[in-house]
Amino acid sequence: MIGQSVGQMIASMERAVVGRRAEVEAMLVAFLAGGHVMLEGPPGTAKTLLVRALAATSGCSFRRIQFTPDLMPADVTGTHVYDPRDASFRLVRGPVFADIVLADEINRTPAKTQAALLECMEERTATIDGVTQSLPPIFTVFATMNPIEFEGTFPLPEAQLDRFMMKVPLGEVSLDHERELIARYVSGFHCWSLAEAGVAAVLDGPALLQLREAVGRVPVEESVQHYLVELVRRTRLHPAVALGASTRAAVALLQASRARAACTGRDYVLPDHIQFVAPFVLAHRLVLRPEAQLEQLDGSRVIAELLESVPVPRAVPA
């Protein structure tokens, strides 16, 4: 059931997005696992289009927040506004009260505003003038970040990065895919008109929540659990790493692996599922030593090394 729904969602999204199959699959895994996603790539790599296509395909409400240096926490969560007609204050909810929230260029806003979003991501609530408000049950943040610009940006602290289940890098597409994209535009495709491109809702809110519940029930055999834990623990022992992945990262890896198994039509988790999601889930959580950074080593290379060195168990259905 889940695999069929995911296949339909991928087909719908690819009517608008070209050459991003691995990234689309990773986003859907995190979305079905209930996790937030960071999309990192230079301008023009379809970061915003990917999120808009996912929102349209999943039938979810969508809001976009353009993060800027002057953005205030109230611009994200909402505030009470005075109504002179009856001399009272009414609550105006901010853009976080949506199923899918696009935090565009999240690193362009100061830490105070980033912290307001942090509560929303971790607790699924928003505090407005001292009163806690519940966010929609599907609430998911997709944030974008440009890795090549540093002027006017505010680096995200490790605590904020750790709240993202996945960080999905987006680079250039292949020559064939870029030619296909241009051919689509020549034929009349426009990225702001997803409906005309054939991107249609495959799910609705209740169906999506059922899929998330089903993902949480996917069994994981004990030896596969031990493999997952060993992979996470070895990030803390790697000589290039000053601070490895946390226990929260291990839980995120578990949930993402379950979602990956369900998306591929499996009834249980295999090491292959862990290996697919591990670079997306773990790489951005590693803090490398200064000497490793000077050698231009990054978290992705560390995870690739660990996937090669950690013994893989023979998985047995649970």
Q: What integer pLDDT is reported at residue 318 of this predicted model?
A: 47
Sign, CA dihedral 220-225-231-232, equals positive
Same domain? 92 vs 34: yes
- pLDDT confidence band for 141 (50 / 70 / 90): very high
From 197, 215, 233, the end of a domain falls on: 215
Average pLDDT, integer, range 253-262: 96
Q: Assess contact for 287 and 243: CB atoms under 8 A.
A: yes
Q: What integer pLDDT is reported at residue 219 of this predicted model?
A: 94
Which tokens go with 67? 């993060």
Same domain? 98 vs 237: no
Residue 148 has pLDDT above 70, yes or no: no
Which tokens go with 203? 């799910």
Which tokens go with 116? 């307001």
- pLDDT confidence band for 197 (50 / 70 / 90): confident
Same domain? 26 vs 137: yes
Same domain? 199 vs 287: no
From 215, 235, 268, the end of a domain falls on: 215
Residue 151 has pLDDT above 70, yes or no: no
Same domain? 67 vs 193: yes
CATH code at position 279: 1.10.8.80
Which tokens go with 184? 């689509």
Using CA atoms, how far residue 105 sits from 59, 108, 146, 150, 151, in Å, is 24, 6, 7, 12, 13
- The residue that leads in pLDDT, 84 or 24, is 24
Distance CA 8, CA 36 (A): 22
- pLDDT confidence band for 317 (50 / 70 / 90): low
Same domain? 168 vs 39: yes
pLDDT, tens digit, 9 for 90 and up, residues 101-114: 999 999 888 888 88
- The residue that leads in pLDDT, 216 or 318, is 216
Same domain? 77 vs 181: yes
**One-character DSSP codes across 183-232:** HHHHTT--TT-HHHHT------HHHHHHHHHHHTT----HHHHHHHHHHH
Residue 316 has pLDDT above 60, yes or no: no
Average pLDDT, integer, range 19-29: 94
Same domain? 102 vs 172: yes
Domain count, the chain: 2
Q: What integer pLDDT is reported at residue 82 of this predicted model?
A: 79
Same domain? 169 vs 84: yes
Residue 159 has pLDDT above 70, yes or no: yes
Q: pLDDT exceeding 90 applies to what percent of the chain?
A: 59
Same domain? 137 vs 41: yes
Distance CA 245, CA 40 (A): 20
Which residue bears the tokens 């790539």? Answer: 41
Same domain? 117 vs 14: yes
Residue 308 has pLDDT above 80, yes or no: yes
- pLDDT confidence band for 284 (50 / 70 / 90): very high
Average pLDDT, integer, range 258-268: 94
Q: Assess contact for 253 and 278: CB atoms under 8 A.
A: yes
Domain that holds residue 115: 1-215
Residues in the chain: 318
From 176, 195, 215, the end of a domain falls on: 215
Same domain? 256 vs 136: no
Which SS3 state, helix, strand or coil, does residue 146 take? coil
pLDDT, tens digit, 9 for 90 and up, residues 206-240: 889 999 999 999 999 999 999 999 999 999 999 99
CATH code at position 171: 3.40.50.300
Residue 244 has pLDDT above 80, yes or no: yes
Q: What integer pLDDT is reported at residue 54 of this predicted model?
A: 95
Rounded to two decimals, the pTM is: 0.91
Residue 16 has pLDDT above 70, yes or no: yes
